[in-house]
């Protein structure tokens, strides 16, 4: 990637997409084309101070590309409907499957490298483990329509004979960090916990409804958004083998650990209360996720990931407390 290459980022007003745009700017790339639905006013702050050459509505992007042939050099496709509580599959199919197929075909026809967002939600209850092995993709049983749509695209991508010259689908685990302010219920536990502690001095966590886990000891692979975008850019620059790559830390931590890190950063005593997991998500709730990171490591990515404590400290003290975006 050269500094004057034109790079497309879809989902550019969203959480990870806007952070990636800022990170690319930070690395000296400012020939960006940002694609999204820019009508959502809560996302506007995510684009402040970003350098780019064009903003294109997601509905008009394919038309725009036809009038700018040979212009784009790389595509990061992070745009998606990410609401795991949206149960209408048609919504997820439109944006996460059909739109992604069109992005893929555009990249294949124009020989553009593609990095796209898949999701750890594809793993469901983890019956087949959390290994980014292509052999298990068609067997996976995601727990919600969002996860199904992401997995359906992975299945489709793996079957294509016509493909981008390089492609990687990243199975993002539990991502948190700056620029998720607009996400409401879908924002990270760190975001919600910090707000609860600011307001009440205490935090509420879901009670365990699984006898194998104590309250607060549900386990997730939490990854800082800064690490996620670093992986995105590294893959685009190094272009190892095509395929799916887990994007987590490989070290799962409990919700209790996470909340403790927030209280410590805020210099407050721990104060946790437990509430029942809402009925609408209770039977779709993952009690354990942990990325197997061997494939990415074997591909040559050897940078250390932020620890949960250091990431929480940076996010809380440098962004949430200051109401700052990246």
| Catalytic (active-site) positions | 146, 183
- Within a 10 A sphere around the Cβ of 231, how many other Cβ atoms? 23
d(CA 86, CA 92): 8
Output the six-digit token pair for 284. Answer: 């779709």
For 302: left if phi > 0, alpha if psi spans -120 to 50, otherwise beta; the answer is alpha
- Within a 10 A sphere around the Cβ of 224, how many other Cβ atoms? 23
Helix axes 99-110, 145-159, angle to 10 degrees: 30
Would you list the DSSP string of 86-149?
A: ---HHHHIIIIIIHHHHHHHHHHHHT--EEEEEEGGGGTT-TT-S---GGGGGG---SSHHHHH
d(CA 52, CA 7): 9
d(CA 317, CA 321): 5
- Within a 10 A sphere around the Cβ of 53, how many other Cβ atoms? 12
Q: Determine the straight-line distance between the first and last CA of the chain, rounded to whole angstroms.
A: 22
């Amino acid at each position: 990637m050269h500094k004057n290459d034109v790079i497309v980022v879809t989902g550019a007003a969203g959480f990870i997409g806007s952070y990636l745009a800022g990170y690319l700017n930070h690395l000296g790339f400012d020939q960006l084309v940002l694609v999204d639905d820019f009508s959502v006013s809560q996302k506007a702050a995510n684009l402040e101070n970003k350098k780019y050459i064009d903003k294109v509505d997601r509905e008009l992007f394919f038309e725009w590309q036809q009038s700018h042939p040979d212009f784009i050099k790389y595509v990061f496709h992070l745009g998606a409907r990410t609401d795991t509580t949206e149960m209408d599959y048609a919504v997820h199919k439109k944006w996460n499957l059909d739109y992604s197929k069109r992005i893929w075909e555009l990249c294949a026809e124009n020989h553009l490298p593609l990095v796209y967002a898949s999701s750890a939600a594809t793993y469901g209850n983890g019956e087949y483990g959390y290994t980014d092995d292509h052999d298990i993709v068609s067997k996976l049983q995601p727990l919600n329509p969002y996860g199904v749509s992401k997995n359906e695209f992975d299945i489709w991508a793996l079957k294509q004979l016509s493909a981008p010259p390089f492609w990687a689908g990243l199975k993002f685990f539990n991502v948190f960090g700056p620029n998720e302010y607009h996400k409401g219920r879908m924002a990270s536990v760190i975001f919600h916990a910090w707000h609860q502690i600011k307001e009440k001095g205490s935090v509420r966590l879901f009670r365990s409804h699984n006898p194998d886990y104590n309250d607060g000891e549900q386990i997730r692979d939490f990854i800082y958004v800064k690490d996620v975008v670093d992986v995105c850019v590294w893959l685009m620059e190094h272009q190892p083998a095509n395929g799916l790559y887990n994007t987590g830390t490989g070290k799962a931590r409990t919700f209790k650990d996470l909340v403790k890190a927030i209280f410590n950063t805020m210099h407050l005593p721990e104060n946790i209360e437990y509430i029942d997991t809402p009925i609408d998500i209770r039977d779709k709730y993952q009690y354990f996720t942990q990325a197997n990171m061997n494939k990415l490591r074997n591909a040559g990515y050897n940078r250390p990931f932020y620890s949960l404590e250091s990431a929480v400290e940076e996010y809380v003290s440098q962004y949430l407390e200051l109401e700052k975006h990246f």
